[in-house]
């Protein structure tokens, strides 16, 4: 499966947002852009196009989506009636890897993606190893019974992490069964904070 393998620290510093926990740690230490002139370079005026591009890149990296897939999602959102940007964020939130992350079964989206691709996750009782699978209201996500015997999931159940975890309102978590149900479409405020989706719409509408 295609994914980003580049330096998350440099990308986080360039975009000004931690795209992963590691990226955030690096950004906290070095909040200036990468490069030898980063600490002392004067901030240049960014054009409207530059702002739009940076916002698009930021969301892509946050959710772990490559360009071709991201464009397809935007086109799907644009065909819907309503606010295009908000529906784009809804599609991103309902990706299977993101839902596994939002349920607290994984601590990062990258880890959630790995759990899905390794075949540990089921949707409505069927093994699904496609991280980009878009979930619908009413669908149930669970961990395969065979996988629950593995040390990672046993530790997750034994230490009470899931019992203490509060999932978003659009998801219903069953910690004992290590499963979750999509009970509603995610709202705008359920997406990652600090996103200006209108800039993404403007970027693709040029």
Q: Which residues in 45-79 are b (16+ Cβ under 10 Å) and which e? A: eeeeeeebebbbbbbbbbbbbeeeebeebbeebee
pLDDT in tens, the chain (206 residues): 455 555 655 555 555 655 555 555 655 656 666 655 555 555 567 899 989 998 999 899 889 899 999 999 999 999 999 899 999 999 999 999 999 999 999 999 999 999 999 999 999 999 999 999 999 999 999 999 999 999 999 999 888 889 889 999 999 999 999 999 999 999 999 998 889 999 999 999 98
Give residue for tokens 């309102």: 169
| CA neighbor of 140 nearest in space, from 99, 83, 198 | 99
Two tokens, residue 198: 């209108």
Cα–Cα distance for residue pair 200/55, rounded to 1 Å:
6
For domain 95-182, the question of CATH label 3.40.630.30 is answered with: no
CATH class of 8-92+193-204: mainly alpha
pTM over 0.85: no
Give the start-to-end residue ranges of the domains of the chain: 8-92+193-204, 95-182
Contact 139, 121 (CB under 8 A): no
């Amino acid at each position: 499966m295609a994914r980003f393998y580049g330096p998350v620290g440099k990308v986080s510093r360039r975009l000004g947002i931690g795209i992963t926990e590691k990226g955030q740690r690096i950004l906290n230490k070095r909040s200036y852009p990468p490069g030898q002139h980063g600490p002392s370079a004067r901030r240049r005026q960014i054009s409207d196009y530059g702002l739009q591009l940076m916002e698009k890149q930021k969301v892509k990296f946050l959710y772990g989506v490559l360009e071709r897939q991201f464009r397809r999602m935007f086109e799907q959102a644009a065909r819907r009636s309503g606010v295009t940007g908000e529906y784009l964020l809804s599609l991103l939130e309902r990706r299977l890897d993101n839902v596994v992350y939002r349920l607290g079964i994984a601590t990062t989206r990258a880890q959630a993606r790995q759990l899905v691709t390794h075949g540990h996750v089921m949707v409505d009782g069927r093994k699904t190893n496609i991280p980009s699978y878009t979930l619908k209201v009413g669908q149930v996500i669970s961990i395969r019974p065979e996988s629950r015997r593995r040390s990672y999931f046993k530790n997750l159940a034994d230490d009470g992490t899931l019992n203490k975890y509060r999932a978003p309102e659009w998801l219903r978590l069953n910690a004992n069964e290590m499963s979750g149900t999509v009970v509603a479409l995610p709202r705008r405020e359920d997406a990652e904070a600090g996103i200006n989706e209108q800039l993404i719409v403007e970027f693709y509408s040029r």
